[in-house]
Amino acid sequence: MKEIDLKLEGDCRTTAMGIMPHRDADQALELALSLDIPFWPQLPKVSFLEDMYAQVSEHFPGIILDMDRRVVSFSIDKFYEDFEEYMPHWEEEEFFRLSPEYSVVFHRFLEQDLSQYKYIRGQSIGPVSYGLKILDENNKPMIYYEEVRQIVFDFVAKKLKAQLGEMQEAHPGAFVWVDEPGLEMIFMAISGYTSERAKEDYLSFLEYFPGPRGVHLCGNPDWSFLLQMELDVLSLDVLAQGHIFSRYSEEVRAFLDRGGIISWGITPTLSEEFEQENVQSMIDMLEGLWESLDRQGIPREQILKQAWLAPARCCLVNQDGEETVTKSFRLLQEVADHFKGIL
């Protein structure tokens, strides 16, 4: 893989999270390519192997995929059995690549003419979420196993590196980020994996994260945890969490002063929410958040210059299938056009 020295620019470019509700891969790909920063779609309604937890599990030791029940689980006994077969491939980048079986769109995305785009993006579930979500037969998350936890972090880093290597062959502006919904859990008392342990693990993980380092999550963690990491991109759902996120003004200021990009997830993808919003309400919401940060000493111009805009979150539950998500992407373009016009 090429060494990356990619400087990301904001300027209210549009992008989106990878998971999409489409059953038609062509339609999903067309919609992803309609954004300023396109991505390859993950389509769990096409195949269970496209589920973000199943997708990253290809070749991970100890994993059990129940295709009928659509469940990913873990066995520590199987982990030790598989590990002997796994280790000889540790230095083989090809071993960690995403196979066509596990993504119907990834390779087709890379076959497109991507020359018109400044950047293209890939994604994977992050190590904390992966390790917390996958349980053994006793409902114990695999990240709780000391001997497994480091393998989880190293494995995801190698998957990212392999994915990015293939993407770089198609486009010099390729980068990847991780989805980390599980980061919200580590700040809860019920979690046996503490935020202190996670911070130590994540700092180590970021050293091996290839290219610009990005994290996306839709939940509400302790935002200072992420804002103080050496990240290049932080993507979040400001439609739901913006009023909380904007309170972390000191951390946001430091993050932006380091050159970080914030991807402001704003347009709703849930049908009930979408019906209540329009272009002006989305503009007003962002303006309100940015004016609040401006009053706390972060220039609005800086926020705009280091902003991307995105749908608020992924959504697979709408009764209308992909219709609302498609509308959200269209609304996003209108909101972005407004702010691009005043840059």
Condensed to tens digits (0 to 9), the pLDDT of residues 211-263 reads 899 999 988 899 999 999 999 999 999 999 999 999 999 999 999 999 999 99
Name the DSSP letter for residue 183: G
Instruction: Give CA separation, 318 vs 40, 136, 249, 332, in Å.
Output: 21, 31, 34, 18
Per-residue burial over 98-135, b if 16 or more Cβ lie within 10 Å, else e, is beeebbbbbeebbebebeebebbbbbbbbbbbbbbbbe
Whole-number pLDDT of residue 74: 98
* 3-state SS, residue 168: helix
Residue labelled with tokens 């502006």: 173
229 contacts 206 by C-beta, under 8 angstroms? yes
* 3-state SS, residue 328: helix
- Residue 68: CB atoms within 10 Å: 6
User: pLDDT tens digits, residue range 28-70?
Assistant: 999 999 999 999 999 999 999 999 999 999 999 999 999 999 9
Whole-number pLDDT of residue 201: 94
Contacts 24+ apart (CB under 8 A), 282-286: 282/331, 282/335, 283/335, 283/338, 283/339, 285/238, 285/239, 285/242, 286/238, 286/335, 286/339
In DSSP terms, 72 is beta-bridged to 65
208 contacts 154 by C-beta, under 8 angstroms? yes
Residue ranges and CATH numbers for the domains of the chain are: 13-340 (3.20.20.210)
Share of the chain above pLDDT 90, in %: 91
Phi and psi torsions of 273, nearest 5°: -70, -40
Mean pLDDT of 139-148: 95
Whole-number pLDDT of residue 195: 84
pLDDT beyond 70 at 191? no
User: pLDDT tens digits, residue range 95-125?
Assistant: 999 999 999 999 999 999 999 999 999 999 9
pLDDT beyond 80 at 135? yes
Provide the pLDDT confidence category of residue 1 given band limits of 50, 70 and 90. Answer: low
Q: Which of 81, 90, 69 is nearest to 150 (CA)?
A: 90
C-alpha span between 308 and 14 (Å, rounded): 6
Reported residue count of the chain is 343
C-alpha span between 15 and 143 (Å, rounded): 31
Provide the pairing of β-strand 120-125 with 71-74: unpaired
- Average confidence score pLDDT of the chain: 95
C-alpha span between 218 and 239 (Å, rounded): 10
Q: Tell me the whole-structure pTM to 2 decimals.
A: 0.96
